[in-house]
Structures are given as structure tokens and as C-alpha cells.
A and B are shown apart, each in its own frame.
Chain A
Amino acid sequence: MALLDRIFAGADAVYGLTVGAIDDAIAKYGEEKAIAFPDTAYSLPIYYGVTGTKVKTLGELKKATETLKALNTREPQLHDGLMSGVATALGAEFLEVLKYIDNPTPYEEPCSGHLPDAIIRDMGVPLVTGDIPGVAVVVGTAPTADEAAALIKSYQEQGLLVTLVGGCIDQAIEKGVKLGYGLKVVPLGKDITAVAHVVSVAVRAALIFGNIEPGNANGLMEYTKERVPAFVNAFGPVDDVTLTAGAGAIALGFPVITNDSNNIDAIPQTLIVQPEVDKFNATSLEARDIKIKITKIDIPVSYASAFEGEIIRKA
């Protein structure tokens, strides 16, 4: 199936899920029920960034799905594919915010779910100075847990912020990779929609540090493309929903690297098929043009700014 058709199919699926979930929530709580992510001044940050509108209630959320519908145009052009990707990111954010109704902590350790503004402000300076040279968004389940752990550690050693979505979280835990914001390895959540929480980070970075006016969608995408050195590693099999989420990443200027060569049409420097997971790191850094500033020192333990927040406990 043509790549754009797959993206459109994924976007349609997410749109359907989103509308259905909101309708269910309205049936349960009513239209006036307040919705919000904790610890943010940016409402639903992705939606706020893209449209300039804050959403406070379920009724408003329902109305906001019209934006999704409007973005889901179906002309066979990249523009339409990317906009469907943006619509999917919004849909994911909507689905995620529903989890927070009457529940300030829907995510349990080690998963973070939504990240508070404070973390973004904290991360802003090292991102600008290059002390955090990039943000890796690792999605899905690696062929083996060893490969997942090795990939995460490789980024960690280079000082990148690593966010995890899906099966790779359990794989990391299985292999004893230490997780947590202090270690710059942040498991977001196990549903694909949890990817919205890292998109939210990029969007808030543009609003906070880039002074992008909320609602200036083009300026936002320009900023993230130029200034937020993120990329996505998506483990196969990549289904249509993951693919359309990938289109959202591409809209923000983030390349997607996958080991799934089945029915995926590669796009140079944008959607790259790399069958070998142990080459994801090199492929990704090259694709996002990330140059690592750190000199590798040959010592028997890992060495990177990511370990600065590590707490050493007594045995």
C-alpha cells in the first residue's frame, strides 16, 4: 500500500478512537467536566501550540476534534500526510489527557506520562548549549532486549535524552538499565499515544524558549526542525498508527529510523530503513546531523552528563 495511504489509514484510526473515547467520557462525566495535564501552564500543549486555543473541558475537547478532522485532508501529497501526522499527535494528546480525569497519577513508576513544565525549563539550557546533544524517541519493542538496552545505553553515553514508548520499556527494565529523568532515560508510557508526551516537550520548548506565538503552527514546526535535535527510532513491525505518528514527528522535522522494511517506502534523511538495530545510533545521529561534543574516555564504567543525577545507595 502506498505510504501516504497507510498514513491516512492510521490517522483515520486515531481520529475514530479519539472521538469515540471523548464521547464515552462525555457520557460518563458530562461536557462540563474539567480536563488538564498536571503542572503545565500550556493546557494541552500540542493543541495549544498548533491552534493557540486552550482546552479546559470535555465539551471543548469534543469541539477541538474538528481541528483534527480539518487536518485530515486526503490529497495524495506530502503536505497532507504531514498534517495527518499532526492530527494524530493531537489525537494522542487528547487520548492521553482523558487518562488524567479524576486521576492525577495515571502513570506508575517508572513511566512518567506527562512531563511537567519544570522539567522542560530545566532541560532547555543544556539543549541550547549542546550539553544534551539530542533527544532520542525510542518506540516499540526491539528484536531482543539486549539490543534495546544496548541502544538506550549508547545514547545515554553520548549524553542524549532518551525517551521510551512501548515494549522497549520492559526490555530496558529486564536488562537492568537504570531509568529516570535524572539519568536522562525517561520511559513515557506503554501505549503508542504516550509519544504525545515527548511531542509536548518539543512544542513547549518552542513556546518557552523559541517565543513562538501559540497558534503559529508553521513557526512552531520551523523551530522544532531547526532547534530541537530530536529523532525517532521505531522498532518494527510499524503499524499504520505508529506510521502516522511518525509522520507527525516528520512534520516537526524529526527523522524516523526503523528496522521495519516491510511495506515502508523510505524517504532520504527523513524515513530511513535501517535493518540493523546496532546501527540505529550512528544512522540516527547522521540523519539528524548531531555531532557529539564529548570525547570518549576509555574507562570501565559509563561516562556522561546523564549520570550526574545518579544516586549511589549503600549495598
Chain B
Amino acid sequence: MEEFKLTTYEQLQEDTDRLLETAEKVGANTWQERVKNQTPHCKFGENGVCCRICTMGPCRITPKAPRGICGCDAHGIVGRNFLRFTAGGSATHSDHGREICHTLHIASPDGDYKVKDEAKLRRLAPVFDIDPEGKETYELAHEVALAALEEYGKPFGYQKMTKRATKERQETWLREGILPRAIDREVSTAMHMTHMGNSSLPEALIRQALRNGLSDGWGGSMMGTELSDVLFGTPKEIETEADLGVIKEDEVNICVHGHDPSLSEMIVEYAENPELLALAKEKGANGINIVGVCCTSNEVTMRHGIPMAGNFLSQENVVLTGAMEAIVVDVQCIFPALGPLSKCFHTKFITTSDICRMPDSEFIHMDPTKAGQIAYDIVKMAVENFANRNKDLVYIPQHKQKAYVGYSCEEIIHKLDGVTNSQVDPTGTYRPLAQVVTSGVIRGAVALVGCNNPKVRHDYAHVELMKKLIANDIILVLSGCSAQAAAKAGLLDKRAKELCGDGLKRVCELVDIPPALHMGSCVDISRMMLLVCDLANELGIDTPQLPVVGCAPEYMSEKAVSIGNYVVSTGIDTFLGVQPYVAGSSECTELLTNGIGDWVGATYYVESDIEKLGDMMIERIEEKRKALGI
């Protein structure tokens, strides 16, 4: 067995530098260059004190001009901007979830989309007040899909998924007036509240930000995750690889990028189509190689072990290898730069969603009723493009790491069953996890999530924090680009147990898992919410008491802010490594880092010094243990 070593930043940097040489050669523009052009950033925007929500402005707050034209002060402006940021993120996740509901609604036994996890469908039906008893699979699937779609715009009542939280959480949300109603309504309410001449009271704006976040985490995202599992199968442990080395010089490479698994699932299926494989051979390629970037990548890696080429800030690198026949995207976090960049190579940049139209792309409208045919056409287009590859421009960095992925809640419980003693323990529960937490074998858990951000050295914060936390016997659950940072570094390899403290190492050995568990895409953070609630129930406590915190060290998108809001509302302290745009308001800052603790039992912690951020998390976890007497 070859020696296990993490991939270092220096190695990653070398790979990137080499690819940037190619960029220079072909005259391509990259994010590294664009960051330079944008620096320094506008301080008013960074502090959140610039308001452009009516045409009397733009207004900005200075000591000389403490109020905007309408009279709104810095606290109102920052609060509104924060709420709008949240609404953007919530809308994004929730629309993703909606697409999945629609896909489930057209699933049929002989169609492109089928029900792959019927047991999960039957488990979920009662959440929507549907009795699965005696119902045929697809009849039930359509009924559940319709009920799920109604969650988006129902006139009365609250999100049904919230009933899956702890009893104390549900009571807290109701008491604090943040129990989410219809998903779209919360986005609309946010937009309404932030219109000129409406709310300027920080407390009201931030309360709605929490409710809007909850409508995402316990609404749109959760339905996106759960119904994706029904359609495409609930993830199970699977071995794969990560980093640019997964791109193959002798095969047709197709990169799936974006978030919605409906299209990528089909592409993965058609990459194994014998006719297309024969065509690839004819064109001189030894096969068809699908790789992924961002959350679409996470979706197909969790369910099929499709290798992860990279995360958010790697997306241009994928094209810069010169070996990408097509980069197929759906929605969210797709650099518009990919259009002009792909024009410098033979790469086809294919957009597929009406939500995400970009110049310099080939648009193939993804009609879910014709998904199979569309996927076939796209794969074929990529295969035919193989001959156009300019071999002189090809450089594929050879770094890659083995990764184990697929840790859905169901799979985690399945793995935990492996360490139960049949004479003592029940199976099918989180009890073994509760035991290792209570006994102190592991000190706690950190949910590491979020994006990349050029304000932080690419993946540095993710990986450094991970190394520190696992060395301190803190288990990690990961999603999104954080999970991919871990995968590239090698932290999803089971051999990474060697970097853990004795306690976590022992758990990794017994349960046969890596120290960092890839739980999926960003909508799959809803899995983590269910995990913490079920774990709290197992221990007979509420979520804020758990020695568990959340962390987004390199976050970037509005989605991350919406996620932060629902994670905090679910009772989990959330640590941010990038300053949110709230520094311009002492009142909003106070609320977010302290005041909301009185409402939901958890708050935000902001620290851009990554070393300190890690120490703060460990300290917080130990405080929680002390309070519990464990």
C-alpha cells in the first residue's frame, strides 16, 4: 500500500499556476485576474451600508450622512440587505427543491425518471399527511410530489417538514414567530419588508431572515434532498476520487457543473450507453469520463461515485486542462466567465436551464419530459467534439486522492449498526453516535459547509480547520465545496484516520469511516439538520445543548447566508470565516452574534483568523459538554 499523504496547498498551487500559464497562452481571463481588478472592494458595500432599493438613492451611510434620503439609518439598511441576501439564497435552494418535486411528479415506470427508493417514499408520505397504505408506487409518488409542491404556496399553515425537528425546536420557532409558512411566501415577505418605506427595525428584519432561512432548510432544501433520494436512490457509502487528476487524457471528458441532479443523473446514465461508447471508440477515445464540479458533482458522486474534479474556485481550471469536451451546467454558482473561457478551447459550454442563461454558451433547454433524449444528445455532442481537442493545449495535473462518500443519514445509521452489540443495543438508531459523544471518545461534531471565496486562500480554511478539528477528536460532517476541499486534500480517505486524535481514530476504525463524512450537496445540509435533531432526541435534549457547531469558513453565496440562518435557528452555533456585510450596524451585529441567542439558543461567531476560528469552535464544544456534565 502506498504511503498516505495529504495533497498540500503548494501542490494545488503548482497545478493552478501551470494551468494559468495555459490561460495566458490562449489569452483567457481568469478569476485570479478579475479579483485583482476588483480590489480593493467598496467599503460601503462591505459594511452593508449602501442602499439601492429605490431610485432616490443610491444612499450610503457616513458619519456626516447618518441617514438615507428616506430617513433609514445604518441599522435598517444593513438589516434589509441581510434579509435580501437571505431571500436570494432561500429562493435559490427552494427553486431547486421545486424542480425536484416536478421531476418526481412526472416519474413513471417506463419513463426517464423512476422511483428508485420506494421505502423512502413510503416513509416520507406521512410527513405530508398522506397514508401510503395500499397505494401503488407512482400513484403515491405523484401524490407526494403534489403535496410537496403545495408547500411552496399554500395559503395557511406551516412547513410540514418542520414536524421532524425536536419538539423543543418546533415550540421555539412558533414562540419566536419564525416557524416558516409557505416557502415562496417567506421570500415574498422578505422582498416586501425590504421595499422602500417598509421595515427598518433590525429585530424584525433579522427575525424574518431566520424564518426565510428556515423555509429553505426545513422546506425547499429538505424536499430537494428527500425527493432526490426517492428519485435517484438514497446515497450509500461508495469509493471515488477527487481533484483534477480524475480527468482522463484518453477519454471523452464531460464535466457536470451546477446543482440540480435531474440532468446530471441522465448524463451519467448515457455515458454508459453502448452506442455512444462505440462512437467514442470510433473517434479515437477509450471511453466516456464524467467528472463533476460543485454540487451537481456532489449529487452524482454521492449516488454513483462519479469523481469530483474540483470545487467552486476550480471550475475554470477544469476547462484550462484543455481536455474537457463539454462542460454541462444547470443552475447556480456557474461563472459566466466559463463562456468566454471555453471559447479559447474546443470545450462546449452547454447551458440547460431557463434560470441560468449565459452569453457564449450553447443553450439546450432541459425539458424533463425529454430528459433521456437531451442527455443522449449532449453526450453525443461531447463525443463528437473529442476530435477537436488541441493536444498542444492539454495539461492535466496528476494529483488526485481516494475518497469515500455517500454518507446520508440512512447510511450513517447503517454504518453505526455495525458497531452495535446484538445482546445489548437496538439497531437503526444513532445510539452508538450518542454514546461516543457522551463518553467523550469524540468531543463533538462540526458541520463544515460552504463555498470558496477568493478572500481566503483556496481551500486553506476548509482543510486547516478540518485537520485541527479531527486532531482534537471532533468528527466532521461536510457538504458542498467544503466536502470537495476535503476530498481533494485526501481527508475523505479512510486512511486519514491517522491524522485524528485517538478517540476519533478509534471511531473511524470501529465504524469503518473516514473522519470527515461527505453528506452531499448544499441542499443536503438538510440531512445534517435531521441528524442533529434525531441525535438530540436520542440524548433527550434539545439541539442547542449538543456539542455540535456549524462552520462556513470560505462562504460566498447568498445561499450560504440562508443556510447559516436556518442552521442557527435549528439551535447550532455557526462560525463564519468571512465577514458578512453587517459591520456597518452595531445593532444588527449585536443581534446576529448575541441577541438571536435569546430567541433560538444559538448565534453567529465571525472570525477571519482561521486558527482562532478553530480554537473558538473547540472552546464552544467544550463549553457545551461542560454544561451537559459529559
A interface list, Cβ under 8 A from B: 1-4, 76-79, 81-82, 265-274, 279, 282-283, 286-287
Nearest CB in chain A: distance from B560 CB, A: 31
Q: Decide: A78 and B424 in contact? CB cutoff 8 A.
A: no
What residues of chain B lie closer than 8 Å to A265, measured between beta carbons? 435, 438-440, 630
A sample of 4 more A-B contacts (CB under 8 A), given A2-B440, A265-B439, A272-B421, is A2-B630, A78-B473, A82-B502, A270-B441
Q: Decide: A4 and B510 in contact? CB cutoff 8 A.
A: no
Q: Decide: A268 and B501 in contact? CB cutoff 8 A.
A: no
A77's contact among B416, B422, B503, B630, by CB below 8 Å, is which? B503
Nearest CB in chain A: distance from B443 CB, A: 7
What residues of chain A lie closer than 8 Å to B435, measured between beta carbons? 265-268
What residues of chain B lie closer than 8 Å to A270, measured between beta carbons? 441, 506, 510
Q: Decide: B423 and A286 in contact? CB cutoff 8 A.
A: yes
What residues of chain A lie closer than 8 Å to B422, measured between beta carbons? 286
Closest 8 CB pairs of A and B: A78-B503, A79-B502, A265-B439, A283-B423, A268-B419, A268-B432, A265-B438, A3-B439
Q: Decide: A287 and B503 in contact? CB cutoff 8 A.
A: no
B443's contact among A76, A267, A282, A283, by CB below 8 Å, is which? A76
Q: Decide: A77 and B502 in contact? CB cutoff 8 A.
A: yes
A266's contact among B439, B625, B629, by CB below 8 Å, is which? B439
**Interface check B622, CB cutoff 8 A:** yes
- CB closest chain-B residue, reference A273: B424
**Interface check B472, CB cutoff 8 A:** yes
What residues of chain A lie closer than 8 Å to B473, measured between beta carbons? 77-78
Q: Decide: B423 and A76 in contact? CB cutoff 8 A.
A: no
Q: Decide: A268 and B420 in contact? CB cutoff 8 A.
A: yes
Q: Decide: B432 and A282 in contact? CB cutoff 8 A.
A: no
Q: Decide: B440 and A81 in contact? CB cutoff 8 A.
A: yes
- A268-B432, A286-B422 known; A78 and B441 CB under 8 Å? yes
Q: Decide: A267 and B436 in contact? CB cutoff 8 A.
A: yes
Q: Mark B450-489, 1 if CB is under 8 A from A, else 0.
A: 0000000000000000000000110000000000000000
- CB closest chain-B residue, reference A276: B423
Q: Decide: A268 and B510 in contact? CB cutoff 8 A.
A: yes
- A283-B421, A283-B423, A286-B423 known; A2 and B502 CB under 8 Å? no
Q: Decide: A77 and B421 in contact? CB cutoff 8 A.
A: no
Bound-state CA distance A77–B444 (Å) is: 11
Nearest CB in chain B: distance from A307 CB, A: 27
Bound-state CA distance A267–B441 (Å) is: 8
Bound-state CA distance A287–B423 (Å) is: 10
Could you jot down 11 A-B contacts, CB within 8 Å?
A3-B630, A77-B440, A79-B502, A266-B435, A267-B439, A268-B435, A269-B510, A270-B441, A272-B424, A274-B424, A282-B423
The A-contacting residues of B in range 592-630, CB under 8 angstroms, are 622, 625, 629-630
Nearest CB in chain B: distance from A296 CB, A: 18
Question: In this complex, which of B421, B425, B473, B502 has the most chain A Cβ atoms within 10 angstroms of its Cβ?
Answer: B421
What residues of chain A lie closer than 8 Å to B425, measured between beta carbons? 268
- CB closest chain-B residue, reference A78: B503
Q: Decide: A271 and B439 in contact? CB cutoff 8 A.
A: yes
What residues of chain B lie closer than 8 Å to A4, measured between beta carbons? 439-440
Bound-state CA distance A1–B432 (Å) is: 20
Q: Mark B234-259, 1 if CB is under 8 A from A, else 0.
A: 00000000000000000000000000
What residues of chain A lie closer than 8 Å to B510, measured between beta carbons? 268-270
Give the number of residues in B that approach A within 8 Å (Cβ atoms). 27
Q: Decide: A269 and B501 in contact? CB cutoff 8 A.
A: no
Q: Decide: B423 and A279 in contact? CB cutoff 8 A.
A: yes
Nearest CB in chain A: distance from B295 CB, A: 32
- A1-B629, A283-B421, A286-B421 known; A268 and B436 CB under 8 Å? yes
Bound-state CA distance A269–B419 (Å) is: 6
Bound-state CA distance A286–B416 (Å) is: 16
- CB closest chain-A residue, reference B422: A286
Nearest CB in chain A: distance from B408 CB, A: 20
What residues of chain A lie closer than 8 Å to B501, measured between beta carbons? 77-79
- A1-B629, A268-B419 known; A78 and B438 CB under 8 Å? no
What residues of chain A lie closer than 8 Å to B424, measured between beta carbons? 272-274, 279, 283
Bound-state CA distance A81–B423 (Å) is: 26
What residues of chain A lie closer than 8 Å to B416, measured between beta carbons? 268
What residues of chain B lie closer than 8 Å to A2, measured between beta carbons? 440, 625, 629-630
Question: In this complex, which of B419, B423, B438 has the most chain A Cβ atoms within 10 angstroms of its Cβ?
Answer: B423
What residues of chain A lie closer than 8 Å to B419, measured between beta carbons? 268-269
Bound-state CA distance A108–B346 (Å) is: 88
Bound-state CA distance A159–B438 (Å) is: 36
The A-contacting residues of B in range 394-441, CB under 8 angstroms, are 416, 419-425, 432, 435-436, 438-441
What residues of chain B lie closer than 8 Å to A283, measured between beta carbons? 421, 423-424
What residues of chain A lie closer than 8 Å to B438, measured between beta carbons? 3, 265
Question: In this complex, which of A77, A79, A272, A274 has the most chain B Cβ atoms within 10 angstroms of its Cβ?
Answer: A77
Question: In this complex, which of B424, B438, B473, B629 has the most chain A Cβ atoms within 10 angstroms of its Cβ?
Answer: B424
Q: Mark B280-310, 1 if CB is under 8 A from A, else 0.
A: 0000000000000000000000000000000
- A2-B630, A268-B435 known; A78 and B423 CB under 8 Å? no
- CB closest chain-B residue, reference A279: B423
Question: In this complex, which of A3, A270, A279 has the most chain B Cβ atoms within 10 angstroms of its Cβ?
Answer: A270
B622's contact among A3, A76, A268, by CB below 8 Å, is which? A76
- CB closest chain-B residue, reference A281: B423
What residues of chain B lie closer than 8 Å to A76, measured between beta carbons? 440, 443, 622, 625
What residues of chain B lie closer than 8 Å to A266, measured between beta carbons? 435, 439
What residues of chain A lie closer than 8 Å to B503, measured between beta carbons? 77-79
Nearest CB in chain B: distance from A139 CB, A: 19
Question: In this complex, which of B438, B439, B443, B506 has the most chain A Cβ atoms within 10 angstroms of its Cβ?
Answer: B439
Bound-state CA distance A268–B423 (Å) is: 12
Bound-state CA distance A81–B436 (Å) is: 14
Q: Decide: A287 and B421 in contact? CB cutoff 8 A.
A: yes
Bound-state CA distance A272–B625 (Å) is: 21
Bound-state CA distance A14–B614 (Å) is: 36
Nearest CB in chain A: distance from B114 CB, A: 37
What residues of chain A lie closer than 8 Å to B441, measured between beta carbons? 78, 267, 270
Q: Decide: A77 and B443 in contact? CB cutoff 8 A.
A: yes
Nearest CB in chain B: distance from A57 CB, A: 34
Nearest CB in chain B: distance from A193 CB, A: 25
Nearest CB in chain B: distance from A71 CB, A: 13
A3's contact among B421, B440, B443, B506, by CB below 8 Å, is which? B440
What residues of chain B lie closer than 8 Å to A271, measured between beta carbons? 439
Bound-state CA distance A141–B424 (Å) is: 21
Nearest CB in chain B: distance from A273 CB, A: 7
Nearest CB in chain B: distance from A201 CB, A: 24
What residues of chain B lie closer than 8 Å to A3, measured between beta carbons? 438-440, 630
Bound-state CA distance A160–B79 (Å) is: 70
Nearest CB in chain A: distance from B539 CB, A: 11
Nearest CB in chain A: distance from B473 CB, A: 5
What residues of chain B lie closer than 8 Å to A1, measured between beta carbons? 629
Bound-state CA distance A273–B432 (Å) is: 12
What residues of chain A lie closer than 8 Å to B629, measured between beta carbons? 1-2
- CB closest chain-A residue, reference B423: A283
What residues of chain B lie closer than 8 Å to A79, measured between beta carbons? 501-503
Bound-state CA distance A265–B433 (Å) is: 12
Nearest CB in chain B: distance from A269 CB, A: 5
Q: Decide: A78 and B421 in contact? CB cutoff 8 A.
A: no
- A4-B440, A265-B630 known; A77 and B472 CB under 8 Å? yes
Nearest CB in chain B: distance from A293 CB, A: 20
Bound-state CA distance A90–B432 (Å) is: 31
What residues of chain B lie closer than 8 Å to A286, measured between beta carbons? 421-423
Bound-state CA distance A181–B431 (Å) is: 40
Q: Mark B477-516, 1 if CB is under 8 A from A, else 0.
A: 0000000000000000000000001110010001000000
What residues of chain A lie closer than 8 Å to B502, measured between beta carbons? 77-79, 82
- CB closest chain-A residue, reference B471: A77
Bound-state CA distance A287–B422 (Å) is: 9
- CB closest chain-A residue, reference B431: A268
Question: In this complex, which of A266, A271, A272 has the most chain B Cβ atoms within 10 angstroms of its Cβ?
Answer: A266
Bound-state CA distance A279–B425 (Å) is: 13
